[in-house]
A and B are shown apart, each in its own frame.
Chain A
């Protein structure tokens, strides 16, 4: 068993090493016809001239290729800008596309083999490591040694992993031309699903889904015997694989817009931006359905489901961000900050972001209906800034890169505007609460420690108070790790749900108002 786990870990590390080494392999050689086929018609002539020194030249890495490409293009754009020729500036980002078509050699010729040696081997290795875990041990959650773990307790391993993830996310969002070799690996899969080559987003989606599936299996092992955890995990695995990964790609195959039927504005922040709306409206009745479905989710599904089941129906059962946090992020859940100060910071961040994106969206819609008379194209700037700061930097780089540093729900807690919206409903109009079981709390702190949202659960439990908090995603771990059976996630009548000054059960000498 130990050997098997050792082999698994070895396989995983080897795969990771190979995966990273891939970035430095292969050749890049851009031919004129390749270039001409990959860019817009109006740019072909310009680029043929500007990129002349590059065409046909062999580069030994994507970094060298991209550096040259960017310097030539920047020089050209700079020239146009200086002479106020704004319409001649090339705003399109061709670096990734051209690097991809330019790639030659080892990686390109061995896509399937390398996919096997990296992504598949890594996933298999992880499963080899995970599956034998807890074998022969009685059911029950074991948090043994978590605080001594370098990986899970912000040691060297954890910090390095965080730094690595941050780096990968930065490449993914802002320098995809450096990771073309990774996208080559999943080209065959992309062709099979959507009929086209893999973008960096397809690569990301593949690995993201795989991470949820593999780490979901880990959840099955770790929380075996706990039906709430098992069902919840199965649910996020299902929604990620089908709704977020397969269905959108198949839609693309059918020439329809890429659409994730469970992604809801304002998490799906560009849902009402012109290009999204135009793409939906341009896709016939299915596109119209997508638009109406998206609006119904916001206006009907969110309030109704949240009223009956609390925020959890989405955040820890359906959502993709939540899905990754609850599976791949589970080992880091205790790293969230539980202080009162952190709660204050949280409220000063997440609600303003909700207000911000709501404002942008309203402006965009108003602009749309006034046929751009209101603000002309200036909403684009807002969209770009929101996309950069919140959509990419916060949700992606910080959201996942900070798992090993600040816990697995940094984005959900401090940034996600949808979580803020659902949270407000949960706080003020819902049947969901975590019930505290009378006076049984021993203040041990397991609940607070393992709360990924940084809620000081114990504060409520030890005073016999139900936990009703906007941020609670209902993962149910507090109830699972409680050694005294004090906490229970419940949907029930609104009456008696919130008690401002609770009475602690047990002492009949005096009425104990906490």
Chain B
């Protein structure tokens, strides 16, 4: 486990070192918090132009829908930063002088650093569609995007969302919460097709239609039309259909937000290139979160991972590396979650959208069509690769352990009751699933029941 890199070679270790973090998202803030825990002397500064305080980016949609106000999305109260001596600078960095180790800010004095951590996040993809700069056309990533969306949809009659992924379905839900009819253009034949297997994709699409999303599959955006005042009035699809609308949400993925470091000494590709310790090519400069690109991706993982959880883990790991013997980034089994309107989604381990022998799959769907479970495993030795759960909550720790211990799908299925995380009094489906597995694979497995001691049993000494 020990690495040849020592902390001293890895970064400056002087007492009271100035650590500056650009970006106050989950990666930057997690890193700052853990740095503070481990180095009480360092001067830690977090710079952000987006908002003064850290907020949960994943909660932006709930602000729009009126579930929460912006204040509710701040994970820490405003006094937290000063108490932990994390200096906040609210402003945009305009350039970095890596030689002088100095940052230029738009409206404030330059800031010097000993160690620089880039946690710059992402920005929405734009693919050069004609008219993409029109008013009422936007992606959704930042707080500013949310404000813009709020303004643009105030007098909107009908909206179009482009893109077949998570932000797309979120935008559709947001718009529908304000009773705006939504047409959802998906280029592929199914929603989130490059991630979800067919059945899951169909489950989500059924649910979207149930919510009156006008879902258009295999429909590509060609251009956006101007109403004459610089606002969008319609989109045109590749097949030439014109769909009138006053708002267009572009949710065709995000890319690392690295304009700040383009054409500098910092090595970049799609994102800022980092090694397994999050070090860039420049000493004492590090990159984490959405903007980082692994030079050597981990097995079965993308080279750029733009997920809340990975951002957090980057922050945790880098904070450790800057204060201890550096360790290689080693996230445990993959996990992720989302919510599609009313249906929650959790995944543990690796579930690809398609698979080939010897990989096998077990899929179960509840008769309601809203609860589903998939296990993907090695057909020969039955070792579990991963699971998808829809409308069903499962315990993270259970699957984290099962995957690390290379459990088989059958071991997992007989013990599935332990993994159920649905609220009390919810119908349990583990037995039904096991029966379905038995039918499909000709086995005769019985559920393993853990004895639960209730009040009566305990009182009667049973």
Contacts and interface: CB of A to CB of B under 8 A. Distances in A.
B67 A446 contact: yes
B344 interface: yes
A42 interface: no
Contacts of B328: 509
Given A439-B335, A509-B328, A148 B346 contact: no
B210 A138 contact: yes
Given A144-B177, A449-B72, A485-B337, A509 B58 contact: no
B66, B177, B327, B400: residue with the most chain A Cβ atoms closer than 10 Å: B66
A507 B339 contact: no
B335 A440 contact: yes
Interface in B222-261: none
Interface string B290-310: 000000000000000000110
Contacts of A294: none
A483 interface: yes
A505 B75 contact: no
B342 interface: yes
A459 B56 CA distance: 13
A507 B313 contact: yes
Nearest to A137: B211
A108 B359 CA distance: 81
Given A138-B341, A140-B342, A505-B332, A228 B423 contact: yes
Nearest to B33: A514
Interface string A486-514: 00111000000000000011111110100
Scoring B62, B210, B344 by chain A CB atoms within 10 A of each residue's CB, the highest score goes to B62
A445 B77 CA distance: 12
A490 B424 CA distance: 8
Interface residues of A, number: 54
A340 interface: yes
B207 A138 contact: yes
A147 B423 contact: no
B195 interface: no
B106 interface: no
Interface stretch (B39-47, B152-160, B375-383, B390-398): B390-398
B104 interface: no
B426 interface: yes
Contacts of B458: 308
Classify chain B's interface size. Answer: 35 or more
B455 interface: yes
Nearest to B177: A144
Contacts of A445: 56, 59, 62, 68, 72-75
Interface in B44-93: 56, 58-59, 62-63, 65-69, 72-75, 77
B398 to A, nearest CB: 9
A381 to B, nearest CB: 42
A485 B344 contact: yes
A506 B342 contact: no
A145 B423 contact: no
Contact of B396 (A147, A228, A438, A448): A438
A427 interface: no
Contact of A147 (B68, B331, B342): B68
Nearest to B320: A510
A438 B395 contact: yes
B353 interface: no
Interface in A401-442: 435, 437-440, 442
B67 A146 contact: yes
B75 A462 contact: yes
Contact of A506 (B56, B73, B313, B455): B313
Nearest to A225: B342
Given A437-B396, A510-B316, A488 B68 contact: no
Contacts of B330: 507-509
A483 B344 contact: yes
B26 interface: yes
Interface in B365-405: 370, 393-397, 400
> Which of B63, B332, B426: most chain A Cβ within 10 A?
B332
A165 interface: no
Given A227-B423, A227-B425, A483-B344, 14 more contacts: A228-B425, A305-B455, A340-B77, A442-B308, A445-B62, A458-B75, A459-B75, A476-B423, A485-B346, A488-B421, A490-B424, A506-B335, A512-B34, A512-B316
Closest 6 A-B residue pairs measured CB to CB? A438-B396, A140-B342, A485-B393, A227-B425, A444-B59, A145-B66
Interface of B: 26, 34, 56, 58-59, 62-63, 65-69, 72-75, 77, 177, 207, 210-211, 308-309, 312-313, 316-317, 320, 327-332, 335, 337-339, 341-342, 344, 346, 370, 393-397, 400, 421-427, 454-455, 458-459
22 contacts: A138-B341, A138-B342, A138-B370, A140-B341, A144-B177, A145-B66, A147-B68, A149-B66, A228-B424, A304-B455, A304-B459, A440-B309, A442-B337, A444-B58, A444-B59, A448-B72, A488-B423, A504-B316, A506-B332, A506-B396, A508-B331, A509-B313
